[in-house]
Structure 1
Amino acid sequence: MMERVTNVDDFISELGAGIFKEKLAHILSQSAMGTILHGDKAKKGKVSIDFTFKRVGDNDQVIISHKLSHITPTKRGKQSEEDVTETPMFVGKGGVLTINQPKEDLSGQFTLQEEGIRSVK
């Protein structure tokens, strides 16, 4: 039996309503280009992602604080920036994170169900 895990592609795409993914793409490219143009053994580019989880009341929901930071080499030093935003998500069976509330199955456990698929009896 396969263990249910969070779909990382969906997770990243949902953070900040999709804006986090765009910011990450931009920062990765910016840091890589700065490293090629101005990097050496002492001047290196760096991109960091930090996630912090905080439970929402007694619900099966968390607020995920996502911090994106970077250091990019420049001609005369370095440029750095830090961006922190938050996204609420639901925690389903096995800890699976999703933006949509999981549906409850017959055993009372929460499971994720794909939209548009219905069981036939």
Structure 2
Amino acid sequence: MSTPTDTTEFLNELNGGAFASQIGYAISEVASGVVEHGKAGKLVITLDMRQIGDSHMVKIKHKLDYKVPTKRGTRSENTALDTPMNVGSGGQVTLFAEAPHPGQLFERNETPIKPRT
């Protein structure tokens, strides 16, 4: 059974939060142009995913492409970058890998420092 990815957290993790800011800016630019010039605008977000090797990671190519209506036509801009993300149990996509158990970073036999005896 799939576990849904937290969309807000996911978008804020792409490119360290810069992608979410770019989306917000583009929405404002397109909406302003639409209202000011009475013409349609367009904003397209594309997410392409590819597995990284044989790991539980994917490389997400995130692309933002938008067209702002102007008085005599349109003004367009696009940007595309990649962000590696982890795919956890149930398919949840996050920036950081899941811990083996809640609150635990390593399995007991994998701890970097052995306890004194």
Pair member with larger Rg: 2
Within-5 A mapping of 1:84-95: 84-95=80-91
CA RMSD, Structure 1 to Structure 2 (Å)? 1.7
Query: 2:53 aligned with 1:57, yes or no?
Result: yes
Identity across the alignment (%): 37
Is the 2:43–2:65 Cα contact (8 Å) retained in structure 1?
yes
Q: TM-score, normalised by structure 1?
A: 0.80
Would you say 1:5 and 2:1 are equivalent positions? no
Q: For residue 85 of structure 1, what is the amino acid of its counterpart?
A: L
Q: CA deviation at 1:104?
A: 2.5
Q: What is the letter of the counterpart of residue 62 of structure 1?
A: V
- Structure 2: distance between partners of 1:47 and 1:68: 7
Which letter maps to 1:86?
D
Long gaps (5+) in structure 1: 106-112, 116-121
Amino acid at match of 2:92: V
1:51 Cα shift?
0.3
- Report SS of the residue matched to 1:78: strand
Shift of 1:4: 1.9
Task: State the TM-score, normalized to the length of structure 2.
Answer: 0.83
Q: 1:34 to 1:97 in 2, by over 3 A?
A: same
List structure 1 runs of 4+ shifted beyond 6 angstroms: none
Shift of 1:3: 5.3
**One-letter amino acid of the counterpart of residue 99, structure 1:** L
Q: 5+ residue gaps in structure 2?
A: 105-117
Aligned equivalents of 1:114, 1:70: Cα separation in 2: 42
Q: Secondary structure at the match of 2:15?
A: helix
